[in-house]
A and B are shown apart, each in its own frame.
Chain A
Amino acid sequence: GENVEQHPSTLSVQEGDSAVIKCTYSDSASNYFPWYKQELGKRPQLIIDIRSNVGEKKDQRIAVTLNKTAKHFSLHITETQPEDSAVYFCAASIEGYSTLTFGKGTMLLVSP
């Protein structure tokens, strides 16, 4: 089955800095890679996703890149703000066929 590794487990940045979270996956058939943000005690919220037919996707301050050959994808947050503090999970799946396999999560702390 699919295995997703996520790094780092914790990330502390100053407000305004950029943050990068990286994930690798094992199943070359995976073609859908969402990122979820989970604030303490709340539900995971989908913030951005990418499919294997593109290499990069942006939405305001967040972007995701995908390298299919190397089987890794990354989340980039620019101009971080304290409200970006949360746990971020990457996931991988074969869209329409398999369940989501989640990484272990990255706790992002943005200090004012």
Chain B
Amino acid sequence: GAVVSQHPSWVICKSGTSVKIECRSLDFQATTMFWYRQFPKQSLMLMATSNEGSKATYEQGVEKDKFLINHASLTLSTLTVTSAHPEDSSFYICSARLLREAKNIQYFGAGTRLSVL
């Protein structure tokens, strides 16, 4: 159990277009999901916390109008990179928090590699 699906796994787009990335918890409900950005050979940088039914909480320095997050259901969060530019090219990973027996564990999606031309 505890599978997180992320789609697409790879996307190439032209500069100025918007890209939507989906993160789904397949076999559990996740009131909280997280979006990370990872540069080559670097750590996971938290971008925002996505809460079902409410606005996302963005980390300092992350533009909320640039990276739109919607958590419309207990199993789906989406990240939309609006008006993408080459500097937005990166590996984006989501995770979903599973609450079980008063413990919470994060399970990660497989990531989306975004290349903006």
Which residues of A line the B interface, CB within 8 A?
32, 34, 36, 41-46, 49, 51, 89, 95-96, 99-105, 107
Contacts and interface: CB of A to CB of B under 8 A. Distances in A.
Contact of B107 (A41, A46, A89): A46
A75 B88 CA distance: 33
Given A43-B108, A43-B109, A96-B104, A105 B43 contact: yes
Interface of B: 4, 34, 41-44, 46, 49, 93, 99, 102-111, 113
Given A43-B93, A45-B108, A89 B44 contact: yes
A78 B108 CA distance: 26
A44 B43 CA distance: 11
Contacts of B111: 41-43
A49 B107 CA distance: 13
Nearest to B109: A43
25 contacts: A32-B104, A41-B111, A42-B110, A43-B4, A43-B93, A43-B108, A43-B110, A43-B111, A44-B108, A45-B108, A46-B106, A46-B107, A49-B105, A51-B103, A89-B43, A95-B103, A96-B104, A99-B34, A99-B49, A100-B46, A104-B42, A104-B43, A105-B42, A105-B43, A107-B41
